[in-house]
Amino acid sequence: MTDEGASLVEVTRHGHVLVVEMRRADKRNAIDRAMADALDRALTLLDEEDDLWVGVLAADGPVFSAGSDLTAGGDYVTETGGEYGVIRRHRTKPLIAAVDGPALGGGFEIVLACDLVVASDAAVFGLPEVAIGLVPTCAGLFRAPRSLPLNLARELALTGDPISCSRAYAAGFVNILAPAGEARSEAVQLAKRICKNAPVAVRASLAAVNEMAAADDEAGWEITDTAKRTITGSADATEGLRAFLEKRAPKWSGR
């Protein structure tokens, strides 16, 4: 990994567990080209190294991830992993999200792309795109209804308001609740529990479950593209982004 990549994404080993930590706290771990490439390399290492059996995706700072860096102009897609180097990756090994702060927009969609979730009291989850005239474009529109009760997924997509970690836990989305500051360590412990089992059997089980769950992904990407086309060039989308950058309330026209 380049020096730049190493500064944005830190990789540490705990036996057979690889911890991948996003380290762009000053930008709320928003993902640009360099960070996407660094995440892609780290997750490729997890996939390809035989001695690594489980991954943990964590984040430095008070925010797990705000998703896309809007200044990147959409330049955060990698050949292997898709958006952020994560969203469209076909992984062979379990990946646990360790969420110790807000995971919003693309940040929540990163969590949705993982296999298990450990979250602390500081975590909240949300899809705030509608608040600025946009729609979730990194699988949130179809992975949220798959991982959460349908009406809760609708609430997230339509209100833009986040939900607490306790509500996400009650809904079955979060596997383990941890005290604030302990999500990463609890996720490593969960990973070590998985590592007690035969890695070939774990990978086969993961592949079977994920293949069934992802059977309708192609349709999901098609409906996401339809939603994107609907808002592209709309007056509301233009106004939403302008209001966001100007730090003011948007004035919607419904067009």
CA distances from 217 to 90, 107, 210, 224 (A): 12, 19, 11, 10
State the pLDDT at residue 70: 85
Residue 23 lies in a domain: yes
Q: Three-state DSSP class for 178? A: strand
The pTM for the full model equals: 0.96
Looking at residue 92, which CATH number applies to its domain?
3.90.226.10
Residue 42 lies in a domain: yes
Residue 70 lies in a domain: yes
Residue 229 lies in a domain: no
Task: Count up the domains in the chain and report the number.
Answer: 1
Residue 242 lies in a domain: no
Q: Three-state DSSP class for 241? A: helix
Residue 238 lies in a domain: no
Nearest to 54 by CA among 43, 65, 64: 43
The per-residue pLDDT for range 43-100, each reduced to its tens digit, is 999 999 999 999 999 999 999 999 999 888 899 999 999 999 999 999 999 999 999 9
For 143, the domain range is 3-218
- pLDDT over threshold 80, residue 2: no
Strand (E) positions, 68-113? 77-78, 82-83, 95-99, 103-104
Q: What is the mean pLDDT of residues 119-124?
A: 97
Active site residues: 109, 129
Residue 254 lies in a domain: no
Cβ–Cβ < 8 Å for 177, 120: yes
Residue 231 lies in a domain: no
